Amino acid sequence: MHGFRQHLPGQRALLALAVLGLAGSTFAAPPADMVPIPAGRYTPLLRSTKDAPQVAVAAFLLDARPVTNAEFLAFVTANPKWRRSQVSKLFADSSYLENWTGDLEPGLKAPLPAPVVRVSWFAARAYARAAGKRLPTIAEWEFAAAAGYTGPDGRKDEALNRDLYAWLARPVPAVLADVATAKPNFYGACGLHGLVWEWVDDFNTAMVTGESRADTGLERDLFCGAGSIGAKDTGDYAAFMRSALRSSLQANNTTSSLGFRCARDVTLTASTP
């Protein structure tokens, strides 16, 4: 654990160089709490026959850690309409921040350094907007999360997979661990696996219904263009779980294990000769 931290800065500098390795451009240094994710390709789990097998992901910045109760407290303090007692049920269901003691008191069940959960997509989006950020897309999140602890391809990273499946097998604890306990992956992003599930901006793109029998057949009546959908890697059980979770959610839903982190475009400025 400590070892990771120690060689991270060097690793990150290399990555930053990879991200920036564009002639004639300079890179605005990422904020301390974000890590650069280099450009790459993401292979969607589910795709229709019209889709390309891979999706290009541009370089972007990702929060190193999920948003904490402390950070969300600052947000609701500054934005009263997102407080538990004041939020519209259209934008956050009745269990929004239910684990908090009060509107502005996270309390014992929601320690300040732990990831915030029981937040809706609308609330996560509003937080990101207020922070001058946005939510990552599915492609961005999955690309960043596909890395292992030591390399960009986590599929063969035994330590990562052991941790991931151990987490999936554990019930959600009553009190979540501090975000600082999460291990950084190859890019320096901590806790993409092993802390909480995370909202993505385009969660509502999965063309499936809540009815599993209906999902297997053609649903042209319900979904235009959903005629052909297929999965690429049926062995990636965790990716199926994330996909199933996303497709089951409504934008105002909140759950005891669903949090979020923010992303931001990489800002490149042409260097003046």
Partner 1 sequence: MKTTTVLATLFLATAGFTLAAETPANAAPPEADACCAEKPAPKKDACCAAMAAAPFRKESIYQLDVTFTDDTGKTVPLGALRGRPVVLDMFFVSCGYACPLTVTDLLAIQGRLPAELRKEAVFVLVSFDVARDTPAMLAKYRADRGLDGQWVLLHGSDDAVRELAALLGVKFKQEADGAFSHSNLVTILNREGEIVHQRQGLQGGLDEAAAALAAAK
Can you give the binding site for partner 1, defined by CB under 8 A? 48, 50-52, 79-81, 85-91, 93-94, 121-122, 125, 201-202, 204-207, 220-226, 250-251
Task: Please report how close the Cβ of residue 89 comes to partner 1 at its closest, in angstroms.
Answer: 4
Q: How far is the CB of 204 from partner 1 (least distance, A)?
A: 5
Distance, CA of 219 to CA of 160 (rounded, Å): 37
Smaller CB separation from partner 1, 27 or 72: 72
- Cβ(224)–Cβ(159) below 8 Å: no
Burial zone of 13 (CB within 10 Å; 0-12 exposed, 13-18 middle, 19+ buried) = exposed
Report residue 80 as tokens: 């009263």
| Nearer to partner 1 among residue 234 and residue 250 (C-beta) | 250
Q: Which of 100, 128, 133 is nearest to 30 (CA)?
A: 133
Pick the closer one to partner 1 by CB: 100 or 187: 100
Q: How far is the CB of 260 from partner 1 (least distance, A)?
A: 14
Q: Rounded to 5 degrees, what are φ and ψ at 263? A: -135, 175
Q: Nearest approach, Cβ of 226 to partner 1 (angstroms)?
A: 5
Among residues 57 and 87, whose Cβ is nearest to partner 1?
Answer: 87
The nearest distance, CB 129 to partner 1, in angstroms, is: 8
CA 16 to centroid of chain Cα atoms: 20
For partner 1, which is the closer residue by CB, 88 or 234?
88
- In the block, tokens 């501090």 appear at 178
φ and ψ at 110, to 5 degrees? -135, 70
